Structure 1
Amino acid sequence: MSQIIEITAPPLPQYIISGSTHMSYGGKHLSRKNIGVFDLLVVSQGCLYVGEEKRNYEVSAGHALILRPDCYHYGFSGCKEETVHHWLHFQVSGNWRVIEQSEYCKQHSAQEGEEGAYMSLHPFTTTPFALAVPQFTYLPQLQKMIDTIDELTEMNRTSHHSSVRLKQQALFQDIVGLLAASLETAAPSPGSVCAEKAAAYLREHYREPFSAKRLGENINFHPVYIARCMQKVFGCSPAAYMLLIRIEHSKLLLVQTDMPIERIAEEVGFNHAAYFTACFTKQEGLSPRRFRQHFAWNRES
């Protein structure tokens, strides 16, 4: 039976930290008890075998599981293949509870009319509302979820700046929204499936020259349809999405290596360093060189 984590807001859930983990054959999730924070696990490759109290979950690619802060968690089996999962810790300062999905649906249906009447009588009163997210779910927009977690993780390097923390908290609400949306969607729409497949292909082949025709041939959708679906799901065209991926990878190389700018441009798929610099500057608001200097200074200070 599916379970729902129902969070009373305000206050809204708060992002803490995130990352990703690669597990080889036989690798297991850590055994922990009462860690004090929620732990969101999103599997993009393979399968993670995780138990919480007396419930065991096989979290295969495309699925998400939320581990609760007050329970015992354990890996009940080792991975049977290379497995990649993205994790995110968050905290809830207000009230929350766990409820069976069938019971939640009954209560939610009965309360809708009462809440509307209350709001009409008290138009200037701030009233709490319920955020409902499934504890274990299939994610119709897996790639969008992964992209958002990756963006949050990238921002951890400068999270000592209050402005960055504010951006992270705002971005985390998108994560909550994607989880809530998975509760309402029994199966992904054809457009969502197309966009996710296109995004996954582009993330894997970002070093190669972009070709709408080759993209369409590889995921078996017409290029025009792919562009329409990606615009709806990701808010950009396939070419623009690939450019964003290239920039994200270049940022990691700028911060983590001493490679020359020209070499980094080539490494992430740009034929000309000048074009890379122009795209990077337009996207980030500063040149690759200034970006590297800024983060090198932050690491030393």
Structure 2
Amino acid sequence: MRRSEVAVIPAPDFSFRRVGAMVLRYWYLLRGSWPRLLELAYWPTMQMILWGYINQFMATSSGWVAQGAGVLVSAVLLWDVLFRGQLGVSISFLEEMWSRNLGHLFVSPLRPTEWITALMTMSLLRTLMGVLPAVLLAIPFFGYSVFGLGLPLLGFFLNLIVLGWALGLVIIALILRYGMGAEGLAWIVVFMLAPVSAVYYPVSVLPGWLQLVAWSLPSTHVFEGMRGVLYDGAMRWDHLAWAVGLNIVYMALAVGVFLYGFHRARVRGALLQTGE
């Protein structure tokens, strides 16, 4: 019998056994990655907490919101600065991981501190490119310009993006430690700060014990300062000073965590291993 005439027994059209095998494979991947397990419950829980506090605040203070023209638009735009600042650092790093180029970078004379500077620069460019169109479109759509905040806007912007950089460096260190299974942290970590950053409502809405956590974040002082400008027409310099001081501490800690995580990854050879 010629080779072309050899009978080939076709496989069954549909096999529950093969389906079960693939489900088992994905279950083992999920079970072995705590960041993936965290992500499953994270979004529903975070949305519930955030919108619960917004609902609680609106139910008692809707008139207060109406008095501050553009307060929610300003909050959304400034929050996006923090989010995109963090994501800009994380995504630039992940692009090197996805292309399996991380090991090649450090065959060159590139130093970790130089890489950090490049990541922050790209984060700034990504943030400006992402936020500026939204800022400009808010003028014809809603008749509100965030530039009306004046010079304090620059202080708010810088403090939020620096906090985003600090978060991004910590996320990179976690990915280097736990592998690509932890890449989902790039999208979820920053939103853990949303309920306690008082983005859409004042800190007074939060329970007493949670207010202590809120005041330890630079972002909380930024958003409280923003509302001070919009409602009182005056800059709260105490909030700005707290934001700057806390950012200095957090950035120093984040750089230390990143450098330690990078060193450990280099020792373990993880810069060339981009798997789970």
TM-score (norm 2): 0.29
TM-score (norm 1): 0.27
Query: Which of the two has greater strand per residue?
Result: 1
Higher RCO, 1 or 2 (CA under 8 Å, sep at least 6)? 2
Which protein shows a greater Rg? 2
Query: Which of the two has greater helix per residue?
Result: 2
